[in-house]
Structure 1
């Protein structure tokens, strides 16, 4: 599933092609995935595309916002002028889970929603496994208020609220929880998954099995800084690409080329040359350097 940097990279790409466009039509092809009616969005204009945690947010000028969760296999495909002239990928912008659909004519059998804009361009939302969803909520002056309360999200991992004091306060509720599980709990911190929890803890020098009650205030500051560093590096390099993600212009991200521990088990640590180890924590595999992380 895409984490914060991958979602942010898609958002950055969508902002280049859909902002300012008016929706002249909207087609829902799957009521399970699309959980609103066309009359709620047709005629509105997209003010901007934003992100909170792992959600893509289309803020509209009618005091509504469309929220999209890509989950495992969601993808966006924007076409400049579909159905006109010879089919060409040069006029297509894509992002999310890579499938053959990104190279084929739209709509596809996995297309769940179609946005049509006043310049005849279209935005398709495809989802192979149908785990993703699209919902609509009210906004105020083009921005959503208290979204965390609506979806049980903690603070966004790149927000000003995500600091050492917040982490320590939340940790007091779960003294025996391990730091790896804590960081991946979306009700505490929004946007962090397996990749960037591993990388953030490496930068912080904190072992993923450390219990929260044993982490000191100065270490919480290192955790916050380490996570922020890992996430910002992920965004800078266009996100991590395995077999479930490409960015909004159809390219693979390059963040995997700069990872320190994630997926590196059995290899040498870049800092100390010790062998990177792995351990199961809460059903998820965590990678770490036992010499650099304590």
Structure 2
């Protein structure tokens, strides 16, 4: 990408179509974003303060919250800025930076949910070996592998997008993603499409398969031992995984049909993938997990 292209800007025309609702959208996005940020930070504080929660499952939950905050911040701050501005434009480097964080967010959520499913599998199916399998060192290694892989793949995708020659400068969306930048190109982008497909298989399809296999083994063990109570610790994770998978599915369908869907669907899909999951996850875990509820109450009583 030459200097003239790197200094160019991308215009998001959807904001002009929604101008009558800008004030309402600004309030909704701000309230949802700040609420999600406060809830995630509170959950992180509870886990950090209470030493009894310094266990693999809660370490993974901390990383899930951090990924959610990263994803919602990269999108919500962008949307709020454009809703407050008279010109909805973003420089190409800023757009590509957003692509990086969006890719890292979506991949990290699936990978961390897969690690959490594996943690529940070991806990329920191999309880005597749990502490030897899910050691702090192994958990740190798995998380490091996830972040290095996602950071590298996202960086490569951004570098591939940087090489494109762009003929268009406007998009009918609220934000930048890799598909948006690809559609601005003057030529076909088979290499970027192939690389994106490989990344999707590695950080979405394979983690989903790991989750499904983990819960298949869990259900078989629970039914065999008649210990239905063992599923209670899986409920928050299952709800979180189903919620995020559904949001991702609708996001993929929308990306393929973005020219044929109403503007309201455009906005809903964006909110459903980037704003709602980070807001719901701390609520789900805070309500469903007894240890977190007790620790939160104890901390609030101690400080208030």
Does TM-score exceed 0.5, indicating one fold?
Answer: no
Query: Normalising by structure 1, what TM-score?
Result: 0.29
Query: Normalising by structure 2, what TM-score?
Result: 0.28
Q: 1 or 2, which has the higher strand percentage?
A: 1
Q: 1 or 2, which has the higher helix percentage?
A: 2
Higher relative contact order (CA 8 A, sep 6+): 2
